[in-house]
Amino acid sequence: MQFYYPRSFLKLLLAGFALIALPLIFALINTAISVDQLANRSQRAVYQAVQATQSSRRLAELLTAMERSARQMIILGDRALLESYGLNRKQLLATAEEFSALPFDNEQMSALEEIVRGEAAIFGVLSDAAAVAADQQKVVGGFVRLADRAQIITVRSNELINREVEAMRSTAAQAQRITLWQLLALVPVVVFLVIGFAILIARPIRQLDSAIRRLGSGEFNIPVEVSGPEDLQYLGERLEWMRLRLVELEQQKNRLLRQVSHELKTPLTALREGSELLSDEVVGKLTPEQREIAEILRHNSIELQKLIEDLLSYGASQFHKVALELEPLNIRQVINRVADDQKLAIRAKDLKLEIEADDVTVVADFEKLRVVLDNLMSNAIKFSPAGGAVAISARCTGAWLELDVADDGPGIEPGDLAHIFNPFYQGRNNAVGLVKGTGIGLSVVKEYVCAHGGSVEVVERVADRGTARGGSGALLRVKLPLKQTEAAA
């Protein structure tokens, strides 16, 4: 899947934050608008309710005052009281005008119009100087009906208040539901955006981390590819340049190893031949002391030859796939051959060699398997103290051959276990001897064993095991398939 990335990592972060924040901002704005609309409607409703309540109460009060003034004028026969009636009438008409501007229903407006008309009729009779008292008394009785109309307006105003309150409650509930649904809709959107941008951001970082780990562990065969913003792609290109540079340096190192190893073989040949001639007393009889020195020269020239062969084997394995010449082998034959080769080294340190091998046939390359066992046994001899023991055991476990080599040395430090099979790595517990090791013996062992489709590991020593010597020291186990598959071959 192809992702589109901004030009820089910073822009990618900003874009991610912006897209995640936009839905939240939209929800906040929408909620603010809903709350504002609800507040405005509530404000209008409260204002109209107060106005309706006050106006309806004022109407009732004014009608009562006007009725009282009219009755006093009729009873006392004092037309001067008509002036007080006129003042109340003006307030009644003003209140009615204000009242008519409110959003009332038809019943209220009809009642209001009836009050205005009825009062106008009453006022017409009261203001007529020629009207008799009986007529005036009769029309004043109409105030009772007008008061009933005012009561209807008051009741309807209360109902209006209840309707507005219910409408506001309904509006608030609707706004709440809308806000809730918006939040429910925003949650998956925000989660999707967060996960999407987390993937976009983490993907190139994970690629960089993986590339750095491969380079740190010495895996230079996989190109570094980083997809992402241009600045991270540029960083990936620099890591690729570093990988190619490390590959070039590794090739130069291997070429140097091969060249030096080959050049060392010429003087080594002279040393081997000279030590052999001295040991065979070709140049004359040797005293016991001279024979001992000649034997030491011969032994150490053999050790030097093994070190050079290890260097050559390692250099070759880096450039060519290990070629195997598979054939059925009896594991005891391989063990006996290596034991004969190491006989002098074992005798020089007065070591005891313990061999416990089943009669197992394995399909393998004899020379490669000999090198594997020879390197393991050489290490065991080097690290074992004088008078100690080296144990070799071989047994069949299902479809696998398990080959153990154990020694009585100081063992392998826990901090060295992760690196013990790396080329040129030498642990903290170094063997004491005239010739220092190169640190590639175990790397060659791993290379040859893996070529057979097997594995090699360091096993914790257990005292009561019957497969190898228990106690301190190192125990290395090689597992080989008894029958080779086409992939392993």
What residues have CB less than 8 Å from 294, skipping those under 6 apart? Answer: 275, 278, 279, 286
User: Which H or E element spans position 64?
Assistant: helix 9-76
Which pLDDT band holds residue 261 (cuts at 50, 70, 90)?
Answer: low
Mean pLDDT, rounded, for 158-181: 76
Tell me the C-alpha distance between 56 and 355, whole Å: 119
**How is residue 12 written in tokens?**
């990618």
CB 309 within 8 A of CB 255: no
Enter the pTM of the model: 0.45
DSSP classification of residue 320: S
CB 304 within 8 A of CB 435: yes
Q: What percent of the chain has pLDDT over 70?
A: 83
From the list 323, 322, 313, 321, the residue with the least C-alpha distance to 254 is 313
| pLDDT exceeds 80 at position 453 | yes
| pLDDT exceeds 50 at position 131 | yes
| Residue 479: predicted pLDDT | 92
| Residue 209: predicted pLDDT | 86
| Residue 466: predicted pLDDT | 40
- 337 or 298, which is more confident: 337
Residue indicated by tokens 């307030």: 91
| Residue 404: predicted pLDDT | 92
User: Which H or E element spans position 230?
Assistant: helix 230-279
The radius of gyration of the chain from alpha carbons, rounded to an integer in Å, stands at 54
Mean pLDDT, rounded, for 288-299: 77
**How is residue 109 written in tokens?**
């407006």
pLDDT digits (tens, 9 = 90+) for 403-431: 999 988 888 887 777 777 776 666 656 55
Q: Which one-letter amino acid corresponds to residue 223?
A: P
| Residue 3: predicted pLDDT | 55
In Å, what is the CA distance from 269 to each residue of 232, 305, 398?
Answer: 55, 9, 45
Question: How buried is 231 (Cβ within 10 angstroms: 0-12 exposed, 13-18 middle, 19+ buried)?
Answer: middle
pLDDT digits (tens, 9 = 90+) for 172-193: 787 778 777 877 877 787 777 7
Tell me the C-alpha distance between 244 and 373, whole Å: 35
From the list 51, 64, 56, the residue with the least C-alpha distance to 119 is 64
Residue indicated by tokens 């309710």: 49
| Residue 419: predicted pLDDT | 74
pLDDT digits (tens, 9 = 90+) for 5-44: 556 666 667 777 777 777 777 777 877 777 777 777 777 7
Average pLDDT over the chain, rounded to an integer: 76
| Residue 114: predicted pLDDT | 79
| Residue 405: predicted pLDDT | 92
Mean pLDDT, rounded, for 123-144: 76
Largest CA distance in the chain: 180
Which pLDDT band holds residue 4 (cuts at 50, 70, 90)?
Answer: low
Which pLDDT band holds residue 313 (cuts at 50, 70, 90)?
Answer: low
DSSP classification of residue 281: T
Tell me the C-alpha distance between 33 and 181, whole Å: 16
Report the sign of the C-alpha dihedral through residues 105, 107, 111, 116, in that order. positive
Mode of pairing for the β-strands spanning 389-397 and 352-357: parallel
Tell me the C-alpha distance between 247 and 419, whole Å: 20
Tell me the C-alpha distance between 258 and 162, whole Å: 101
pLDDT digits (tens, 9 = 90+) for 61-70: 887 888 787 8
DSSP classification of residue 6: -
Which pLDDT band holds residue 316 (cuts at 50, 70, 90)?
Answer: low
| Residue 280: predicted pLDDT | 76
Tell me the C-alpha distance between 322 and 254, whole Å: 16
| pLDDT exceeds 50 at position 353 | yes
Q: Is 404 helix (H, G, I), strand (E, B) or coil?
A: strand
